[in-house]
Amino acid sequence: MVFITALPTIATMVGANRILRGVAVTNPVGDPQRERADELALRRRIVERALTMLASPVEANTVWEA
């Protein structure tokens, strides 16, 4: 499982192993301030990064940047 959040310390405290830092608390997988095409590209990049993380072996809590 990949935990996408703007608050990785909380994800670490609950025991998540794969943590992907999101954009903001209110919009972890997007940024409504961007133009529509840019936001869709950002969302795709975050989801693709999360899928890559699922294939990566981890033992301890690991935080990745999007």
Query: Nearest 5°: CA angle at 35, between 26 and 8?
Result: 30
Max Cα-Cα span within the chain: 38
How far apart are the C-alpha atoms of 49 and 4, rounded to whole Å? 10
**Is the model's pTM score more than 0.75?**
yes
Domain extents in the chain? 2-65
Read off the pLDDT of residues 22-43 as tens digits, 9 standing for 90 and up. Answer: 999 999 999 999 999 999 999 9
Read off the pLDDT of residues 10-26 as tens digits, 9 standing for 90 and up. Answer: 999 998 999 999 999 99
